[in-house]
Structure 1
Amino acid sequence: MTPEPARTWVRRHPLAVFFGLAYLFSWSCWIPILVSGGTVRPGVGWPTDLPGLAGPLLAAVVTTAVVDGRPGLAAFWRGVFRWRIGWWWLTVPVVLAAGAIGMLATGAPVSAAGLSEYPGVPADLGPVLTVVVVFVFNGLGEEAGWRGFAAQRMLRDRSLTETALLIALAWIPWHLPLFFIMSTFRGFSPGALVGWSLGLVSGSIVLAWLFRGSRGSVLLVAAWHTAYNFTSATPAASGVPAAVTSTLVMVAAAVILIREWSIRRRVVPAALRRGSPS
């Protein structure tokens, strides 16, 4: 395929290209760890899965460059760093984090220092720098792609529910190599795997809702993603805090789906009535 036909094909199938590149970039970082027998552990800086988490961001940049050129890239980066949203949206990640940390302070068996023990990040960075690193790689690295590119395009002609579920279908298997290289994933039982998948689908729904409601703020969804990971996937949040956080996200996703179904149930018949002959 010559360069111009290849560029034309990419422009016709940007989402397929994006998802393919996201897998390529991420797995090319994770599979060598698997082949070498390495294990990514909380609080240990090497080997690390962090560069692979930025695969969706790199995929979005490459696909946008081919499809939309420099103007498209400029618009993409503006969207990534957009923060012109209502300040009340900040309560979402803040309450999520504060709620779990509050539980730690009132009886959880692990101290808040456990927040520094994040997979692939050296514990001696301390809690603040750990949050910054995770926000850049895990938050922006993923959300600039899954939401900033994929959801941005899919929401143009798909419902929020369809968008969230389609992204989740790609997002779940994207994690596959991590189940072989991360110590926190290796011990998953079949039941835990089902629960993790349900939590990810629920997170996809909540993130799509946040992204749409905030007029496309990648910073907001990256903050939510980062807060959720710290309050559900670190030693500090193990046990009750993680269970409560995950349950709240699943409940929120159910509420969003019910609301979207209710709105669609009212809107579609109304549109049909307007379009019917008199």
Structure 2
Amino acid sequence: MRTWVRGHPVVAYAVLAYAFSWAWWIPMIVRGEIVRPGVGWPTHLPGLMGPALAAVVVTALADGGPGLRDLWSRWTRWRVGWAWWLLVLGTAALAVLGLVVPLVLGDPVPEVAAFGRYSGIAEIGLLGVTAVALLVNGVGEEAGWRGFAADRLLDRHGLRTTALIVAAVWGGWHLPLFWVNESFRTFGLLAVGWAVGLVAGSIVLTWIYRGSGRSVLLVAAWHTAFNLTSATEGTGDLVAPLTSVLVIVGAIWVLRHEATAPERHGSRTR
């Protein structure tokens, strides 16, 4: 088993990520449970930790103690340059438009508490929701999708190929949430837009991850900032699509930049 995992680490990771996450979500589907914003139970959050757990297990089998120490160093890498952290803050700041635009248009202004109503998390205040989302949604996902899958693929492929491979597997991993998560259940044809946004997000996150010296903490923070501007009741029907459009534009810029730059892979920052 260990020999096979060492020879196919990304495949082993993907299988375990699906297994760990779906082991929580599939029973929820069977029981007919629906996750709603601001409600702490039932919740899909434990399933979001599947990618991080899979990354730890496969790293332990493939690389042992040195690999786990390297993984931890990337999970906690925060010295990445102030410009990257400004990108996170700028993304999070888009949520303020949920207050500004209604004021300008004379529409009802959402209460501040609405910005802390997040699927699967009880109303524990904006700071509390942010902390939980960072740990579970941010680190729980990014420790695996960027911190393991993209990290390994970047050693052999360019950014575009890496991002598209991860996007395909990452998108499939979300499938049970279309039955479990109330917001996913309402997508309908908008699921196509969600898929486009996920691919764009994979490109941007891979670019941030590589450019920051492979910091899982940074991509987890950006992922959390994006979700808080697009997945709370306070941001409503305006900020979420605007944020998604900006991410798609960002992904197009990254791809155009990559097309004019030489392929960069195989240079890990340790």
Task: Please give the TM-score of this superposition, normalised by the length of structure 1.
Answer: 0.90
The residue identity in structure 2 corresponding to 1:56 is: P
The 5-angstrom pairing of residues 246-261 of structure 1 reads 246-261=244-259
Aligned residue for 1:120, secondary structure, equals coil
CA distance in 2, matches of 1:116, 1:184: 15
CA distance in 1, matches of 2:188, 2:110: 23
Structure 2 match to 1:43: 38
Within the alignment, does 1:115 sit opposite 2:125 as a pair? Answer: no
Structure 2 match to 1:24: 19
Aligned residue for 1:91, secondary structure, equals helix
Deviation of 1:102 (Å): 3.8
CA distance in 2, matches of 1:14, 1:140: 20
8 Å contact kept, 2:147–2:216: yes
Aligned residue for 1:157, secondary structure, equals coil
Aligned residue for 1:119, secondary structure, equals coil
Structure 2 match to 1:193: 191
CA distance in 2, matches of 1:170, 1:96: 25
8 Å contact kept, 1:100–1:245: no
8 Å contact kept, 1:203–1:249: yes
CA distance in 2, matches of 1:121, 1:78: 28
Unaligned runs of 5+ in 2: 104-108, 265-270
Is the radius of gyration larger for structure 1 or structure 2? 1
Task: State which drifts further: 44-53 or 91-100.
Answer: 91-100
CA distance in 2, matches of 1:110, 1:103: 8
What's the RMSD between the two structures over aligned residues?
A: 1.3
The residue identity in structure 1 corresponding to 2:257 is: R
The 5-angstrom pairing of residues 233-252 of structure 1 reads 233-252=231-250
Structure 2 match to 1:208: 206
8 Å contact kept, 2:52–2:140: yes
CA distance in 1, matches of 2:32, 2:95: 34
Task: Please give the TM-score of this superposition, normalised by the length of structure 2.
Answer: 0.93
Q: Percent identity?
A: 51
The residue identity in structure 2 corresponding to 1:154 is: L
**In the TM superposition, what whole-angstrom CA distance separates every residue of 1:15-51 from its partner, at most 9, and x where no partner exists?**
0000000000000011111111111111100110001
**Corresponding residue to 2:5 among 5, 10, 15:** 10
Count of matched residue positions in the alignment of Structure 1 and Structure 2: 259
The 5-angstrom pairing of residues 1-278 of structure 1 reads 6-107=1-102, 109-123=109-123, 125-190=124-189, 192-264=190-262
Unaligned runs of 5+ in 1: 1-5, 269-278
CA distance in 1, matches of 2:212, 2:13: 23
8 Å contact kept, 1:7–1:67: yes
CA distance in 2, matches of 1:211, 1:111: 34
CA distance in 2, matches of 1:146, 1:41: 25
CA distance in 2, matches of 1:212, 1:229: 21
Aligned residue for 2:40, secondary structure, equals coil
CA distance in 2, matches of 1:110, 1:259: 39
Task: State which drifts further: 207-216 or 150-159.
Answer: 150-159
Deviation of 1:222 (Å): 0.4
The residue identity in structure 1 corresponding to 2:119 is: P
